[in-house]
Amino acid sequence: MFKRAGCFSYRRVQIFQSHKSANSLDFFRWLTVFYGSLTIRCRRTSSSTSKSKGTLMSNDHTPHGLQRNLKNRHLQLIAIGGAIGTGLFMGSGKTIHLAGPSVLLTYVIIGTFLFFIMRAMGELLLSNLEYKSFTDFTYDLLGPAAGFFVGWTYWFCWVVIGMADIIAITGYTQFWWPDVPLWLPGLLCILIMAGMNLLTVKLFGEMEFWFALIKIIAILLLVVVGLFLVFTGFIDPSSGEKASFAHLWNKGGFFPNGIGGFFSAFQIAVFAFVGIELVGTAAAETKDPETNLPKAINRIPVRVIIFYVLALGVIMTVTPWSEVNPAKSPFVNMFTLIGIPIAAGLVNLVVLTSALSSANGGMFSTGRMLYGLSAADVAPKMFSKLNRNGVPATGLLYSCLYLVVGIFLLYQSGDIMDMFTIVTTVSSIGFIFVWIMILLAYLKYRKTRPQLHEKSIYKLPGGTTTIWLCMAFLAFVLVLFSLDADTRLGLMYMPLWFIVCGILYWLLYRRNHPANQKQG
């Protein structure tokens, strides 16, 4: 029995044409469910029925203006390309510098724990098919305040990720134009992408299709070319180093900077995994979630191995970890060291398009997040307005203002990598908060609804023991954030957001729904 109002009932935003394939598991598709048109209803349910009663947050707004212009080919490429982001291309240089070859183990460990967190999410989603996202069961199991904080924190995190992407774009453009002012590339990027996003969603789909295709081809080519160089005994003309798998252990060992360096890499590496929870959430919205959700989550280890472990491992076999510049992308650095300047320029173009893709997707999504939050009466009504092209222009432009703030901070700092570290730390902490809420919701589920766990077809291996281990790991990562000066700064800033979120909760929800507070 649901003892608390909480199940979210959703109408899908009319952005995408179909949910036909389980492979279309990505952030943008998930938005059609989570932030499209949000109506939150009070439900009381038994083990066999679910019955609506009352209205927790009544809203008659139905968004028929959003456009359904993305095709299946868009979704397929965006889904795969979504696993290759700025955290890999930009942040991996610093993680290699900090940990050396042991960075491969760093990604494996983080990926393993997050896989189990996603397994917990999967069991929760399948315990009640009314759940369409982690916010659903967070709201239902932990209460309206938890659901509110998770929803707004999620929007905030993706805005901060947009800042990280803009900073990365600035860094990539310096490869060709090192004397250009730091603020100029980012500002031009924001203006161009905002203009395109205000026109039509179809244009967004085409942009993302080609961006994703470029990223996928680049990763595969990098692995193939890297292995070719190793097996042919390529020698770097500048350093005389021969490409070899031995670079993974003969340059100071597998842990060249000791256990401290190994742990330091966790701070940046976590950022590469942000958004991983969306894979399972999108699968939950397919016609056969009992099949597609486990399939989607079980693919996570494969993606980690291909896009992180294999790609970075190949880089360090061609160019020793000690030769990787922490302030630059190791993907570009590898081709620069082997003396192929044209190839280095092409790879820099690839990683630039990756950052553009992420920034473009973030801009697209945050506007629609605010649109859905507004439709749910937890954001100002102005965000629910659409322009004549069916685009939530007000929310999109509002989110863009925060990206401009990111440019200002970069200009004030003058150091691209320092600012990238700060904003990625802030977003990582936000996502860790979301992951912790998923774990807490699972503990509440096991305590209050044991009969649903017994019937589950996708039980979390290890049960609550696994949950506590994952909680301990996330707490450990937060402790690591406090040890480094750069990441400590981000850790200090993040509580300010939760204060803001608490004020928003009072102003936008609690005061408007006093009856629900008494019920909760």
Q: What is the three-state SS of 117-153? A: HHHHHHHHHHHCCCCCCHHHHHHHHHCHHHHHHHHHH
pLDDT at 39: 34
Q: Are the C-beta atoms of residues 230 and 223 closer than 8 Å to each other?
A: no
Domain membership of residue 459 as a residue range: 8-519
Q: What's the pTM value of the predicted model, to 2 decimals?
A: 0.76
Tell me how far apart the alpha carbons of residues 85 and 307 are, in angstroms, rounded to a whole number: 10
Q: Is the pLDDT of residue 58 over 70?
A: no
Name the more confident of 113 and 395: 113
Q: Are 103 and 312 in contact (CB under 8 A)?
A: yes
461 domain-assigned = yes
- In the chain, the N- to C-terminal Cα span, in Å, equals 15
Within 10 angstroms of residue 507's Cβ, the number of other Cβ atoms is: 12
SS3 category, 225: helix
Residue predicted with more confidence, 423 or 280 = 423
Cα 283 from Cα 291, distance rounded (Å): 9
Helix, strand, coil tally for the chain in percent (to 5): 70, 5, 25
Averaged pLDDT for residues 103-114: 92
Q: Any idea which of 277-286, 328-337, 376-385 has the lowest mean pLDDT?
A: 277-286
Decide if pLDDT at 136 tops 50. Answer: yes
Does residue 295 contact residue 75 with C-beta atoms inside 8 Å? no
**pLDDT score of 81:** 57
Which of 419-428, 471-480, 508-517 comes out lowest in average pLDDT?
A: 508-517
- Local confidence band at 50 (pLDDT 50, 70, 90 cut-offs): very low
Whether residue 30 has pLDDT greater than 50: no
**pLDDT for position 213:** 80
Q: Which residues make beta-bridge pairs with 10?
A: 38
Q: Report the range of poorest mean pLDDT among 46-60, 170-184, 336-350, 502-516.
A: 46-60
Cβ–Cβ under 8 Å, residues 4 and 520: yes
Counting Cβ atoms within 10 Å, is residue 217 exposed (0-12), middle (13-18) or buried (19+)? exposed
Structure tokens at 469: 């281990």
Rounded Cα distance between 298 and 105, Å, is 20
Query: Average pLDDT for residues 226-247, to the nearest whole number?
Result: 85
367's tokens: 């506007």
Q: Is residue 2 included in any domain, yes or no?
A: no
Is 257 inside a domain boundary?
Answer: yes
Residue 3 lies in a domain: no
According to the model, what pLDDT value does residue 339 have? 67
Confidence check: pLDDT of 249 > 80? yes
**pLDDT score, position 441:** 95
User: Cβ-count burial of 509 within 10 angstroms (0-12 exposed, 13-18 middle, 19+ buried)?
Assistant: buried
Q: What are the pLDDT digits (tens) for 408-455?
A: 776 676 666 777 777 888 888 999 999 999 999 999 999 999 999 988
Weakest-pLDDT range from 17-26, 225-234, 358-367: 17-26
20 found inside a domain: yes
The reply to whether 385 falls in a domain is yes
**Is residue 425 within 8 Å of residue 490, measured between CB atoms?**
yes
CA distance 368 to 35: 6
pLDDT at 492: 86
Judge whether 15 and 66 are in contact, CB under 8 Å: yes
Please count the other Cβ atoms lying within 10 Å of the Cβ belonging to residue 347. 23
Q: What is the pLDDT of residue 287?
A: 62
Q: Is residue 90 part of a domain?
A: yes
Q: Mean pLDDT lowest for which of 200-204, 259-263, 444-448? A: 200-204
Q: What angle do CA 53, 56, 58 make, to 5 degrees?
A: 100
Q: Please give the pLDDT value at position 91.
A: 72
* Pairwise CA distance, residues 225 & 150, whole Å: 42
Q: How far is CA 88 from the centre of its chain?
A: 12
3-state SS record for 446-499? HHHCHHHHHHCCCCCCCHHHHHHHHHHHHHHHHHHHHHCHHHHHHHHHHHHHHH
Using CB atoms within 10 A of its CB, is residue 176 exposed (0-12), middle (13-18) or buried (19+)? exposed
Q: For residue 324, which of 245, 225, 271, 247 has the smallest C-alpha distance? A: 247
3-state secondary structure of 9: strand
Residues 96, 160, 304: CA angle, nearest 5 degrees: 40
- Rounded CA-CA distance 341/491 in Å is 39
How confident is the model at residue 470, as a pLDDT?
Answer: 97
* Token pair in block for residue 279: 């894979």
Report the number of distinct structural domains present in the chain: 1
Q: What is the CATH number of the domain that holds 136?
A: 1.20.1740.10
Average pLDDT, the chain: 75
Least confident of 93-107, 306-320, 345-359: 345-359
What residue spans of 299-339 are helical by DSSP H?
Answer: 300-304, 311-318, 330-337
Please indicate, yes or no, if residue 103 is contained in any of the structural domains.
yes
